[in-house]
Amino acid sequence: MDPTERYVERHLRHRGFKDITYEPDGNVPPDFLLGGTIAVEVRRLNQNHFDGGKFRGLEEVEIPLWRKIDDLTKSLGPPLFGQSWFVFFRFARPVAPWKTLGPKIKTALQSSAENPLQKKGTIFRDGDFELDIFPASNRHSTMFLIGGCSDEESGGLVLAEMEKNIRYCAAEKLRKVSKVRSRYPEWWLTLVDYVGFGIDDYDLEMFRNQVRIEHDWDRIVVIDPNEPTRYFEI
C-alpha cells in the first residue's frame, strides 16, 4: 500500500467503514472494496501536461514553491487597514533557489502590507518570477492568501486547474476500470487534492456554484491532503 492509499484508507475509516479490503482482486482495480460492494479507486489529484507522448504531473517544482509561498503569506499575519489580498505568482523553469527568492518575496509583501494606498498589480519581479496581488472581496484571517499561479505549462487559477484535472483524472481512471467494472455494483473515485491543497470553505462554495463536472462514477471524493477528515463530493 503506497502513502496515498494509506491516506485514503484513513479517510474511509473516518467515514465509518470497517469492512475495508485492500486490492481484493490482486494488483488490478479496485484499490479498496468496502463491505463487499463498493469499489474504490485511489489517485492523486495533480496537474498534468503532455510530455514525451504521455501525460506527466507538474509537481516537482510547483508544489514545493506553492507551499513555501503559502507558508510565507500566512506568516505575515492578519489584515492591516481591513483589507486582505490574493497573491498570484507566475514563473518559468528553472526557478531560483528559495533561499534567494524567498527573502525578496517577503520584503515585497511586507512593503505592500504597510502601504495603506496599495493598489492591485505586480509588486515583485525577478527574472522569470513575478508576483501580483489583487484585493479580496472579503476580509480573511490573513493579510495575504494565494489565489493562483501559472507557469509555462500549467497556469490558471486554482479552481480552474482543479476542474481541468478532475476531468482528466476521472476519465483516465475510468478507462482503467472499464474491463472490471461489472464485478461490483458501485464505484468511487477518491482524489487526494494536490492542486488546491485542500481549498477553504469560501473557495469550495465558489467551486460548487461555478463548476459542473459530468462523469460516470457513482461518486468522486476530493480529499484534503492535510486532513483526511476534510473532503467534498462531486
Those residues with Cβ within 8 angstroms of residue 198's Cβ, 6 or more apart along the chain or in another chain: 224, 225, 226, 227, 230
What digits encode the pLDDT tens for the residues 136-177?
988 999 999 998 887 655 544 678 888 988 999 999 999 999
Query: Are 143 and 201 in the same domain?
Result: no
Is a pLDDT exceeding 70 seen at residue 57?
A: no
Query: Are 87 and 144 in the same domain?
Result: yes
Q: Which cell goes with 82?
A: 481591513
Is a pLDDT exceeding 50 seen at residue 15?
A: yes
Query: Are 81 and 113 in the same domain?
Result: yes
Those residues with Cβ within 8 angstroms of residue 138's Cβ, 6 or more apart along the chain or in another chain: 84, 202
Full domain range(s) for residue 213: 3-56+158-233
Query: Are 210 and 174 in the same domain?
Result: yes
Q: Which of 150, 180, 200 is the C-terminal boundary of a domain? A: 150
Those residues with Cβ within 8 angstroms of residue 182's Cβ, 6 or more apart along the chain or in another chain: none
Those residues with Cβ within 8 angstroms of residue 185's Cβ, 6 or more apart along the chain or in another chain: 37
| Out of 11-25, 112-126, 145-159, least confident range | 145-159
Query: Are 215 and 163 in the same domain?
Result: yes
C-alpha closest to that of 157 among 95, 189, 199, 128? 199
Report how many domains make up the chain: 2
Q: Which of 117, 150, 183 is the C-terminal boundary of a domain? A: 150
Residue 58 burial (CB count, 10 A): 21
Is a pLDDT exceeding 70 seen at residue 61?
A: no
Q: Is 167 helix (H, G, I), strand (E, B) or coil?
A: helix
Amino acid 55: pLDDT: 47
What digits encode the pLDDT tens for the residues 87-113?
999 887 778 999 999 999 999 999 999
Query: Are 78 and 38 in the same domain?
Result: no
Query: Are 100 and 46 in the same domain?
Result: no
Amino acid 149: pLDDT: 81
What digits encode the pLDDT tens for the residues 172-201?
999 999 999 999 999 999 999 988 877 888
Amino acid 50: pLDDT: 46
Is a pLDDT exceeding 70 seen at residue 52?
A: no
Query: Are 172 and 129 in the same domain?
Result: no
Amino acid 160: pLDDT: 81
Query: Are 67 and 52 in the same domain?
Result: no
Identify the residue whose cell numbers are 481512471.
173
Q: Is 16 helix (H, G, I), strand (E, B) or coil?
A: coil
Query: Are 102 and 176 in the same domain?
Result: no
Amino acid 60: pLDDT: 56
C-alpha closest to that of 197 among 169, 222, 159, 225? 225
Amino acid 223: pLDDT: 96
Is a pLDDT exceeding 70 seen at residue 30?
A: yes
Average pLDDT, the chain: 88
- Cβ atoms of 151 and 37 within 8 Å: the answer is no
Q: Which of 127, 150, 173 is the C-terminal boundary of a domain? A: 150
Q: Is the peptide bond before 103 cis (omega within 30 degrees of 0)?
A: no
The pTM of the full predicted model, rounded to 2 decimals, is 0.59
205-220 mean pLDDT: 90
CA distances from 41 to 104, 162, 164, 172, 226 (A): 42, 18, 19, 11, 20
Distance, in Å, from the CA atom of 152 to the CA atom of 112, rounded to the nearest integer, reads 27
